[in-house]
Chain A
């Protein structure tokens, strides 16, 4: 099942993030794809702020993983960009199959850890502040969430 959302600006994006955040619970896994500047981190920050996180959300490209323990549910923000071609396992499965929600940017670099059901979000930059969101759910658990979202 696919759900498409046209975002005219950052405000629309944050509204979508807020709606999704309310549907997410512990053990959920969401992947984010889209070019640099597409708005992946902006989207995650919208989710985090809805879950009660006060601090500024920055991309974990350098750190690979950022943990937000003070969110309503622990949230793990993973950016696998720097794991490209490294073939290294650094224990990320403890977070992806952990006690919180996992958001994963550049999931193709850790495809081996994503054999479990998850929600896929793709963001396309349409120029200016316009973004096209495609949310894809292959299994019934996430399809149910998408139906609630739509």
Chain B
């Protein structure tokens, strides 16, 4: 059971390999706006050093958003092409979910720009607030209301400090909760901005 884990929804490039439920290898580094050049070579590198052929992959897990417009399309396009060619399922997952603190209540935020944030609130495996784009004013109220929750994300744009989580470790842990998608054409980015649709 070999799963490739891909994420380029934000400033970091994440490529991971999950084997029998364990995250056995990963490549992670800041690579904003250049992920399109690096993701395929890094996948190759990871597969090679784990002596794995593409045909030995069981499935591909990928974050579908919300997040960077181009960033989302990079990992998702690569994941879809590979899954289609290899006839293996995709495991699409919310970017905010994999950025939460698992097993604890957390508010996960990303800068959506134009004074808005992508936000979701989770408590263990429950979603208290579904992924959406909200004005920062409302976001600040929600943070105050849930002051005892973990606050996750790069929150410099709100003049706040957020926690950072290990995205690939979370993806690996959440893999078993995701329903596989066989028809890869069904999988679309979750932009959440009206103007992107």
Contact = CB atoms under 8 A, between A and B. Distances in A.
Whether both chains belong to one complex is answered with: yes
Contacts of A113: 114
Contacts of A67: 33
B33 A89 contact: no
Interface in B69-123: 69-70, 113-114
Chain A, interface SS category: loop
Contact of B196 (A89, A97, A99): A89
Given A89-B193, A89-B195, A89-B196, A94 B34 contact: no
Contacts of B33: 67, 69, 94
Contact of A91 (B32, B34, B68): B68
Contacts, number: 27
B128 to A, nearest CB: 28
A26 to B, nearest CB: 13
A139 interface: no
Interface string B30-74: 001110000000000000000000000000000000001110000
A121 to B, nearest CB: 23
A97 B69 contact: no
A97 B69 CA distance: 13
A35 interface: no
Nearest to A116: B114
A91 B114 contact: no
A63 to B, nearest CB: 13
A135 to B, nearest CB: 25
Nearest to B72: A91
Interface in A95-121: 97, 99, 112-113, 115
A97 B157 CA distance: 11
B34 A69 contact: yes
A130 to B, nearest CB: 38
A93 B113 contact: yes
The 9 closest A-B pairs by CB, nearest first: A91-B69, A89-B195, A93-B113, A97-B113, A89-B196, A91-B70, A94-B68, A93-B114, A67-B33
